[in-house]
Amino acid sequence: GQQVMQIPQYQHVQEGEDFTTYCNSSTTLSNIQWYKQRPGGHPVFLIQLVKSGEVKKQKRLTFQFGEAKKNSSLHITATQTTDVGTYFCAASTNAGKSTFGDGTTLTVKP
Amino acid sequence: NAGVTQTPKFQVLKTGQSMTLQCAQDMNHNSMYWYRQDPGMGLRLIYYSASEGTTDKGEVPNGYNVSRLNKREFSLRLESAAPSQTSVYFCASHQGASGRSEQFFGPGTRLTVL
């Protein structure tokens, strides 16, 4: 089945530093979503990317979809303590199922 | 709207006991899903229901059964719980139409099997 690999598994940063997580697939994706899960919480949808080369921004978060639609990244500029959590990418199939990456857990030291 | 609700929030079982996890959504979504999340890992799909009246196996269906009772409700049953089923279980729903693929998640059920 479809597999989505996410790196790194963990990232520890000082508050104010930037953070990037990467999502890679061996197959071309129709779209990709990003979710955030706070410690002890449930995944919450952040954004969906559909077009090749697409770039979307949400305040300090920048999401990119690769030209070949096989990879994606999430970049956070100047991290804050409120950014802590695990960030997941998810690739969906035409049937509506999503395959989730294992996530990148971000910790931010004040 | 409550979104996606799950009961119970916490459960402790002994090996061999059975239980049903309940999930309901009030967003009139067609598709519903059950995932499990083990510590430090991502979400693995157990079963899903693309529409009312249909269910299909996901990545890790062994040891589980599901029922799509109606459009709102999708339950997950453990017939004979095993310690390997200790996990956090999330239910999710999805509109099912083409376009947006956003899934809405419930708060989760934290299950421990002793």
Question: Which of B43, B50, B105 is facing A95, going by the closest CB pair?
Answer: B50
Average pLDDT over residues B71-91: 97
Report pLDDT digits (tens) over A79-90.
999 999 999 999
Q: With left for phi above 0 and alpha for psi between -120 and 50, is residue A94 left, alpha or beta?
A: alpha
pLDDT of residue B95: 83
pLDDT of residue B108: 97
SS3 B1: coil
Does pLDDT of B101 surpass 90? Answer: no
Query: A24 CB near a chain B CB, below 8 Å?
Result: no
Report pLDDT digits (tens) over A16-68.
999 999 999 988 888 899 999 999 999 999 999 999 999 999 999 999 999 99
